[in-house]
Amino acid sequence: MPLGERNWDKSESRYCGVETEFHDDMPQLLAYNISSGGFDFVAAPLMDPSYRPSLMGKDCGGSGVLPFAGSDLVLSPSQWSSHVVGKVSPWIDLDSEDEILRMDSEITLKQEIAWASHLSLQACLLPAPKGTSCANYARCVNQILLGLNNMKLWLRIPLLKTDDNDSMDVNSIHPVDSWELWNSFRMLCEHHSQLSIALDILSSIPPANSLGRWFGESVRAAIMDTDSFLTNARGYPCLSKRHQNLVAGFFNHSIQIVVSGKPVNGLPKGSTDLAADHNDRNFDAVQRHPLRPYLDYIGYLYQKMDPLPEQERFELGYRDFLQSPLQPLMDNLEAQTYETFEKDAVKYIQYQRAICKALQDRVPEEKASTLTIVLMVVGAGRGPLVRASLQAAEETGRKLKIYAVEKNPNAIVTLHSLVKLEGWEDTVTIISSDMRHWDASEKADILVSELLGSFGDNELSPECLDGAQRFLKDDGISIPSSYTSFVQPVTASKLYNDVKSHKDLVHFETAYVVKLHNVVRLAASQPVFTFTHPNKSSKGSNQRHKKLRFEIPSDTGSAMVHGFAGYFDATLYKDVYLGIEPSTATPNMFSWFAIFFPLRTPVIVHPGSALEVHFWRCCGPTKVWYEWCVASPCPSPIHNSNGRSYWVGL
């Protein structure tokens, strides 16, 4: 049974599993842990732990039958797939100095994964590497991945503190920073998309910045050992505030919880006599599962989470989904695209506020009834800015004459219908033309546009408004008056793997619009390009180059940069702003998602080293494009040289 029923939440994080010991009767194991215990799935060993290939001939009498937990027929295919995560034998050590152990480990690993794949399991849990050197383990796993079906491999990684040498396990075989262990393993496996992480959560956890790195990685499960729980006054398990926040983060990132271990400090009051031995072959379905109080507490944390705001629920389906940016000059937008953007009330409220202020500055109160302001909406679409302008005029008591300029002939049809329906014929004149080529019969006092893209200038607002400003009066007002793009380095394993799956250069040299979710923002964003309108510059070039230097906080530890998230911030007029830059983002606005610039080869940044990045905005006769690269700590190729893969057409 899922942790809670929330209609909007379909993520995997609502399912909670339990780690079990080996049992050769899988139906009984499921009955006890799922039917009786209430867990959604088991992470269970598939192979008898006493099995060693080197002893097989002696112990099995030459039968050659592997000691798996029953045949594939003991459960239905759906039960195997939905309720069992295979657990590879924890004794395997593929980097051992002992050759027999190493060979036994490799044979066993391949046998168990082959069996799990035969059962169509969704995932198989791999034990953590036994030491800092894991090259042979990674080599064997990589071989398996190259021939694997859709099953995921979850590599078990202990979540160790980065600032405490005493946080090593009892054998002191793991590096202090467990992220380094994971990073080494996944790089040896070439960032394979079917290799994921199962984090072992212990009683002490890393500092916030170090912990945050994992939310941009492919973490599929968090194994909560009972030792990480506290006991409340009534004898029931609970978690520290830091652990609670961590679990909430797991829920938000679709990471499943797996409860592991034995009850700590006895069982909750009233349930002592209900304990059962996991290894007892005679499971009693009536008995209360000893780990049920832990499941109940995890469910309590899940259910007490605040529901997602309406905007977030609307955006759920877009999370970490790569979309190509719009080409507003080359392509005519479809009705559905207009419909989506027009629902963003916040954006048009901000525009209306800006137009109100501009009208009040342009027309003194004493001239409000006699002076008519010429306002041009360039790129009018289906009319939302026309409506906002008329509402601003009504609110301020000013008189307007509006020109609605639009190049999309299909949107022109809608504009004519809107003007007739609303009775705006005496106020609004529709112009079917590209703003860059239209010859206006008079000049405008106010020029209004919504040509901004996720990166500010990436939908060619500078080129369009430079072409349109010839019909703006010398002292005329442009709304927006300026906008700035921003970038920041991010860990984004899913996005990187999605781009990598195309297996070509073009996709790594394309900027994508994406609702960022499973990402880690490694440093504060920094400004890149700024454009001001009207543009009084005599140079007349919209080409730009910016060098940026990012300092990753030292307490983060080492981190992987998969690319850069881009945003914009715009000044519509005076103190009226609009934007998606995280620190200043306009609340509850959904017209824009961030933009993502991937790196062909991810870059590792170590504590104390800086990340130096270059961005270029390049302009040609028929197109505008971006180029980007990393200069330090290790140089990358210049991406999208000469706009060979991605550009915006003029």
Which string of DSSP letters, residue by residue, matches 396-446?
HT-EEEEEEEE--HHHHHHHHHHHHHHT-TTTEEEEES-TTT---SS-EEE
CA distance 251 to 11: 8
Instruction: Assess whether pLDDT exceeds 60 at residue 166.
Output: no
Higher pLDDT, 278 or 574: 574
Model confidence band, residue 132 (pLDDT cutoffs 50, 70, 90): confident
pLDDT tens digits for 615-638? Answer: 999 999 999 999 999 999 999 999
Tell me the CB-side half-sphere exposure of residue 623, using CA atoms within 13 A: 11
Q: For residue 331, what are the β-bridge partners?
A: none
Asked if 174 contacts 199 with a C-beta cutoff of 8 angstroms, the reply is no
Q: What is the pLDDT of residue 138?
A: 98
Q: What is the pLDDT of residue 59?
A: 52
Q: Which residues are designated catalytic? A: 450, 459
Q: What is the pLDDT of residue 414?
A: 96
Average pLDDT for 139-153: 96
Asked if 161 contacts 206 with a C-beta cutoff of 8 angstroms, the reply is yes
Q: What is the pLDDT of residue 405?
A: 96
Residue 176: its H or E element: none
Of 75-79, 309-313, 325-329, the range with the highest mean pLDDT is 75-79
For residue 377, give the 3-state DSSP assignment.
Answer: strand
Model confidence band, residue 281 (pLDDT cutoffs 50, 70, 90): very low
Weakest-pLDDT range from 161-165, 373-377, 445-449:
161-165
Q: What is the pLDDT of residue 175?
A: 47
Q: Give the DSSP letter string of 221-269.
A: EEEEEGGG-EE-TTS-EE--HHHHHHHHHHHHTTPEEEEES--SSSPPT
pLDDT tens digits for 232-262? Answer: 999 899 999 999 999 999 999 999 999 999 9
CA distance 511 to 517: 17
Higher pLDDT, 334 or 390: 390
Higher pLDDT, 18 or 314: 18
Long-range contact pairs involving 110-116 (C-beta distance under 8 Å, separation at least 24): 110/140, 110/144, 111/47, 111/53, 111/66, 112/46, 112/47, 112/86, 112/88, 113/86, 113/88, 113/144, 113/148, 113/153, 115/46, 115/47, 115/66, 115/68, 115/86, 116/46, 116/86, 116/151
Long-range contact pairs involving 9-13 (C-beta distance under 8 Å, separation at least 24): 9/308, 11/251, 11/254, 12/220, 12/254, 12/255, 12/256, 13/250, 13/251, 13/252, 13/253, 13/254, 13/255, 13/256, 13/257, 13/302
Q: pTM score, two decimals? A: 0.91
Q: What is the pLDDT of residue 171?
A: 44
Model confidence band, residue 177 (pLDDT cutoffs 50, 70, 90): confident
Q: What is the pLDDT of residue 276?
A: 37
Q: Select from 42, 40, 34, 32 the least CA-distant residue to 4.
A: 40
Of 149-163, 283-297, 481-495, the range with the highest mean pLDDT is 481-495
Model confidence band, residue 58 (pLDDT cutoffs 50, 70, 90): low
Weakest-pLDDT range from 392-396, 490-494, 534-538, 558-562:
534-538
- Which residues touch 129 (CB under 8 Å, ≥6 apart)? 95, 137, 174, 181, 185
CATH topology for the 335-450 domain? Rossmann fold (3.40.50)
Model confidence band, residue 287 (pLDDT cutoffs 50, 70, 90): low
Q: What is the pLDDT of residue 9?
A: 62
pLDDT tens digits for 86-113? Answer: 999 999 999 999 999 999 999 999 999 9
CATH number of 12-306: 3.20.20.150
Asked if 448 contacts 479 with a C-beta cutoff of 8 angstroms, the reply is yes
Average pLDDT for 557-582: 97
pLDDT tens digits for 517-528? Answer: 999 999 999 999
CA distance 552 to 523: 6
Q: In what order do the strands lie in the sheet with 623-632?
A: 544-551, 610-619, 623-632, 648-649
Asked if 596 contacts 492 with a C-beta cutoff of 8 angstroms, the reply is yes
pLDDT tens digits for 389-446? Answer: 999 999 999 999 999 999 999 999 999 999 999 999 999 999 999 998 899 999 999 9
Model confidence band, residue 325 (pLDDT cutoffs 50, 70, 90): confident
Model confidence band, residue 321 (pLDDT cutoffs 50, 70, 90): very high
Q: Select from 447, 458, 475 the least CA-distant residue to 378.
A: 447
Asked if 295 contacts 54 with a C-beta cutoff of 8 angstroms, the reply is no
Q: Which residues of the chain form CATH 3.40.50.150?
A: 335-450
CA distance 646 to 650: 13
CA distance 419 to 633: 58
Alpha carbon separation from 221 to 14, 15, 21, 502 (Å, rounded): 11, 10, 18, 27
CA distance 223 to 206: 16
CB atoms within 10 A of CB 397: 12
Average pLDDT for 631-648: 97
Q: What is the pLDDT of residue 162?
A: 52
For residue 207, give the 3-state DSSP assignment.
Answer: coil
CATH number of 482-649: 2.70.160.11
For residue 62, give the 3-state DSSP assignment.
Answer: coil
Q: What is the pLDDT of residue 521?
A: 97
What value does the CA radius of gyration of the chain take, rounded to a whole number of Å?
Answer: 30
Instruction: Assess whether pLDDT exceeds 70 at residue 529.
Output: yes
Above pLDDT 90, what percent of the chain?
79
Tell me the CB-side half-sphere exposure of residue 15, using CA atoms within 13 A: 16
Q: What is the pLDDT of residue 306?
A: 87
Mean pLDDT estimate for the chain: 90
Q: Select from 123, 25, 20 the least CA-distant residue to 75.
A: 25
- Which residue is it, tokens 């519509």? 572
Instruction: Assess whether pLDDT exceeds 80 at residue 202.
Output: yes
Q: For residue 531, what are the β-bridge partners?
A: 483
Average pLDDT for 265-272: 48
Model confidence band, residue 7 (pLDDT cutoffs 50, 70, 90): low
CA distance 270 to 446: 75
Q: Which residues of the chain form CATH 2.70.160.11?
A: 482-649
Instruction: Assess whether pLDDT exceeds 60 at residue 352.
Output: yes
Model confidence band, residue 549 (pLDDT cutoffs 50, 70, 90): very high
